Amino acid sequence: MNKTELLGVLALCAASFLAHADDDSLRIGIEAAYPPFSFKTPEGNVSGFDYDIGNALCEEMKVKCEWVIQEFDGMIPSLKVRKIDAVLSSMSITEDRLKSVDFSQKYYHTPGKFAMKAGNVLNDPRVDLKGKKVGVQRASTYDRFATEQLADAGVEVVRYASQNEAFLDLAAGRLDATLADIVNTDESFIKTAAGKGFALVGPDITDPNYFGRGAGIAVRKGDSANVARLNAAIDAIRANGKYQQVMARYFAFDIYGK
């Protein structure tokens, strides 16, 4: 083997090693401010259903999870510029998002719900919330729904970087209502001291044009390899019981949905 051939073989080996190294880790974006799906413990560690499911999936795929904490509205931009490889942060699979990214199959599916002072009746949000302030998380499916379905009916839509900020303003009387995932609202607000005197009201908000077919794991457009292995891992942990073990830590019902 001459020097040129040797250098070529070494280059191929190096490329193979780097590709394998990339396959051995997955940089995953997570918000860590959306309990019980993702949050920080008093010790500063990330925890929650999304985090535990992600770790179970990485274990199944035999890769290392490298968690990257950031605000929700920066997730897709970070994915596009390759700061992260995937988003596992309760991101709904919608037709609008599918124009920019690809998704795994769902890993859970829950409806949205309004929270207001207990005693309020909400039959038709467009009518009953006219002239009122409704808080939503910026860049979420609830933001898009409220903007397109409520704002033109005279509802003032107030956007926040995190859902917890909306809960704080609702408790302080700066909002009349907030719209978010039913589980997040119930666990993170209604059942807490701050949520005393508030209730989940009105119909379940499930319009598939906005809320798609559940929460999935977003990857870059065209990343069919990660879609395939994430789908296989989701199927595997649901079949071997690991999904149910994680779910039981946070919920008393089947969050996977229909």
| pLDDT tens digits, 129-149 | 999 999 999 999 999 999 999
Model pLDDT for residues 76-114, shown as the tens digit of each residue? 999 999 999 999 999 999 999 999 999 999 999 999 999
All domains in the chain, ordered by first residue:
24-109+213-250 (3.40.190.10), 112-211 (3.40.190.10)
Mean pLDDT score, 47-60: 98
In this structure, what token pair is assigned to residue 176? 């009349």
CA 60 to chain centre: 20
- Phi/psi for 116 (5° steps) reads -145, 175
Confidence of residue 253 (pLDDT cuts 50, 70, 90): confident
